[in-house]
């Protein structure tokens, strides 16, 4: 028997390692970074953080003591916890069903399932695997107490329940509900009075803890009852994740009504199966199926109560605990197959499917989680910016990479590289143009870091904004302003130098095939149509479907047509700006063949405003002076009756 279990554990470990080994190459993720920083420089904040899930703080503190900055060590623990939790789940199911086959199949499937796979490669979510281990052990200790009621077993059962409560006072509530449900069906299973008292105590601790530490009341769902559709949409995604690859979702937008309705239908059918099974199935089958169904719904439901606006798929961290119930039901069904050869075929097929789906999930995360890429990004940023809280970093580029590499981690990776021990020393990190504009214009005067508010210098020196462009491959490029280039050994920049830095051909001209509006044209470049947005100007809208035609918009559009229609133009980049904007338009200065700068002519003659998009461009000073003169002379759109004349036409 022992030899059989040793072989089983060895095989299970091998499968888990094969499936999740790429995780060892992952960098820290999201909340991991600031908890890593607090473990290094502010241990007091670490212990106060995530007070609703104390086990998370313990995990970070212990792993920091063991591994410090050895990331492979941190990530290997995630794989180890998945393997250990699979072994414990296997034993737990075996004890519940008294069926060794069911237990072993459950362990194998749980070791490789994509359900709750976030918990494998995300340090902050390792707690999910620890909770699974704690809950299964606690359940088995209460079962021991039911089989042999001694003071020792009583003390052990209560202690395990208390430990599970302290690890996560929020999720203990659905666990206690499942344990109580199971005990109600097992008349001689557990001392009911003791369990009820202990459960009431655990729930009281959970409520008191949440009330003490939570900034809200933990009942956000009361104000979002319409978002209940997220439960059904997410549960449908949860079950589909076991069998088909789904795009990962962690969305705060309203749920998809069609998917939610299908999810409701699925739940109603399952309820019908449970009702029918109560009458027709064996007592053991009913107990297992009903308990695991309650486990799945309640373990996810507690997360929905706290964050009802979230729609997720099965790989999400919130589904890690629910995964235990789903895999148990699947294994129980496989074990019920009468013919052993058929049972083996079904098991191996599902096992291979689960491994394939998990590997696909990990492979999709690899480009944004790769430690080498993440390290290179932050080292490149570190190489270009000085220390100081009057420094800002603005990141543009591929939306997915900016969201996951920069916005999700915040400034903490750079704080670790520069060894910044006080948030007062942190530079600002801006990944949103609206936020950047608010900061640079003085509308936003403070920033919150780890629950504390820090002032932002007002007015903010735009020469202290360091711009970077991050592409879809994780390659980051520094886009310096003229002043920053001056500060790094280039003392004088004339037009020729700027063109060389921009690597732009000086005498290459392109045919203009259409004028979209006053500040946007379409040109033909090597047989391909490219939309060009003129740098440094903004003209009234005439084509934006979200807005009415604005005053002087047609005049500005007609002026641009007059200047460039049917002509050839030169397109010059600006070293301070990225190559394209968020709409994939080229950002360029547009020159006619006589070297007339179209951007400036439109401002000179009052057809355009000067416009700076977050970061100052090379000719900003010249354009602003042109706008001032046009305004003083009251020409074009600056005329007092400009709108009246435009409407009259």
> Catalytic site residues?
533, 541, 585
Do the Cβ atoms of 173 and 166 come closer than 8 Å?
A: no
For residue 435, which phi and psi values (nearest 5 degrees)? -65, -40
Among 369, 368, 431, CA closest to 401: 368
Token pair of 507, please?
């005498």
364's CB contacts (< 8 A; 6+ apart) are: 248
Phi-psi region of 258 (alpha: psi -120 to 50; beta: other; left: phi over 0): alpha
Do the Cβ atoms of 486 and 493 come closer than 8 Å?
A: yes
Distance spanning both ends of the chain, measured CA to CA? 94
Among 131, 130, 126, CA closest to 67: 126
* β-sheet bridge partners, residue 538: 609
Residues in the chain: 649
Could you say which DSSP state residue 538 is in? E
Do the Cβ atoms of 105 and 12 come closer than 8 Å?
A: no
155's CB contacts (< 8 A; 6+ apart) are: none
> What is the DSSP secondary-structure string of 607-637?
S-EE---SS--TTHHHHHHHHHHHHHHT-GG
Chain centroid to Cα 263, Å, comes to: 24
Composition of the chain by helix, strand, coil, percent to 5: 60, 10, 30
Q: Strand, helix or coil at 576?
A: coil
Among 501, 497, 527, 523, CA closest to 591: 523
Distance (Å, rounded) from C-alpha 189 to C-alpha 315? 34
Residues 623, 629, 634, 640, Cα dihedral to 10°: 60
* Strand-strand pairing, 520-525 and 428-430: unpaired
Distance (Å, rounded) from C-alpha 233 to C-alpha 231? 6
Distance (Å, rounded) from C-alpha 394 to C-alpha 223? 36
Token pair of 93, please?
């199911």
Distance (Å, rounded) from C-alpha 112 to C-alpha 190? 33
Is 282 buried (19+), middle (13-18) or exposed (0-12) by CB count in 10 A? exposed
- The alpha-helical segments, DSSP class H, found in 449-552 are 482-487, 495-502
Distance (Å, rounded) from C-alpha 367 to C-alpha 349? 29
Distance (Å, rounded) from C-alpha 502 to C-alpha 524? 20
Check whether the bond before 459 is cis (ω within 30° of 0).
yes
Residue 343: CB atoms within 10 A of its CB come to 16
């Amino acid at each position: 028997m022992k030899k059989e279990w040793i072989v089983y554990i060895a095989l299970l470990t091998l499968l888990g390692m094969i499936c999740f080994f790429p995780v060892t190459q992952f960098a820290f993720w999201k909340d991991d970074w600031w908890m890593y920083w607090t473990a290094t420089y502010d241990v007091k904040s670490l212990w106060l953080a995530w007070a609703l899930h104390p086990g998370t703080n313990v995990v970070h503190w212990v792993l920091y003591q063991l591994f410090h900055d050895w990331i492979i060590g941190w990530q290997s623990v995630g794989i180890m916890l998945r393997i250990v939790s699979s072994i414990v789940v296997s034993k737990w199911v075996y004890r519940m069903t008294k069926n060794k086959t069911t237990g072993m199949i459950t362990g194998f499937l749980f070791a490789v399932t994509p359900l709750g796979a976030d918990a494998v490669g995300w340090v902050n979510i390792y707690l999910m695997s620890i909770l699974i281990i704690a809950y299964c052990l606690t359940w088995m200790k209460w079962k021991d107490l039911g089989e042999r009621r001694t003071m020792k077993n009583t003390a052990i059962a209560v202690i395990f329940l208390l430990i599970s409560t302290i690890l996560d006072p929020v999720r203990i509530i659905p666990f206690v509900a499942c344990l109580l449900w199971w005990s109600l069906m097992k008349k001689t299973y557990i001392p009911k009075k003791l369990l009820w008292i202990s459960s009431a105590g655990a729930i009281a601790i959970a409520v008191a803890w949440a009330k003490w530490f939570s900034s809200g009341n933990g009942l956000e769902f009361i104000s979002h009852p319409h978002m209940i559709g997220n439960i059904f949409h997410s549960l449908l995604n949860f079950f589909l994740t076991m069998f088909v690859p789904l795009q990962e979702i962690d969305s705060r937008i309203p749920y998809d009504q069609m998917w939610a309705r299908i999810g409701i239908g699925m739940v109603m059918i399952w309820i019908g199966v449970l009702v029918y099974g109560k009458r027709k199935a064996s007592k053991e089958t009913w107990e297992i199926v009903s308990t695991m169904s309650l486990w799945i719904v309640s373990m996810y439901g507690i997360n929905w109560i706290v964050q009802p606006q979230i729609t997720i798929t099965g790989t999400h961290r919130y589904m890690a605990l629910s995964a235990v119930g789903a895999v148990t039901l699947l294994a129980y069904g496989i074990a019920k197959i009468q013919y052993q050869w058929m049972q083996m075929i079904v098991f191996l097929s599902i096992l291979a499917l689960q491994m394939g789906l998990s590997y696909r999930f990990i492979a999709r995360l690899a480009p944004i989680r790769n430690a080498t890429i993440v390290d290179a990004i932050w080292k490149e940023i570190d190489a270009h910016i000085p220390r100081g809280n009057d420094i800002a970093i603005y990141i543009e580029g591929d939306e997915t990479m900016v969201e996951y590499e920069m916005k999700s981690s915040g400034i903490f990776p750079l704080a670790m590289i520069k060894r910044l021990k006080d948030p007062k020393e942190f530079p600002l990190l801006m990944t949103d143009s609206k936020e950047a504009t608010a900061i640079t214009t003085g509308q936003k005067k403070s920033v919150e870091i780890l629950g504390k508010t820090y002032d932002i210098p007002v007015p903010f020196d735009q020469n202290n904004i360091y711009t970077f462009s991050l592409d879809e491959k994780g390659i980051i490029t520094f886009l310096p302003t003229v002043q920053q280039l001056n500060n790094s050994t280039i003392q004088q920049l004339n037009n020729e130098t700027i063109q060389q830095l921009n690597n732009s051909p000086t005498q290459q001209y392109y045919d203009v095939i259409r004028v979209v509006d006053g500040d946007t044209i379409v040109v033909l470049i090597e047989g391909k149509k490219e939309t060009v947005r003129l740098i440094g100007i903004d003209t009234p809208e005439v084509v934006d479907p979200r807005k009415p035609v604005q005053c002087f918009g047609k005049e500005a559009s007609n002026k641009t047509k007059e200047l460039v229609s049917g002509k050839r133009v030169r397109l010059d980049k600006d070293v301070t700006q990225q190559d394209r904007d968020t709409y994939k338009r080229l950002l360029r200065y547009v020159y006619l063949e006589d070297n007339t700068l179209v951007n400036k002519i439109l401002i000179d003659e009052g057809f355009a405003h000067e416009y700076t998009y977050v970061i100052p461009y090379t000719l900003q000073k010249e354009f602003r002076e042109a706008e001032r003169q046009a305004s003083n002379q009251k020409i074009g759109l600056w005329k007092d009756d400009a709108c009246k004349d435009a409407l009259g036409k």
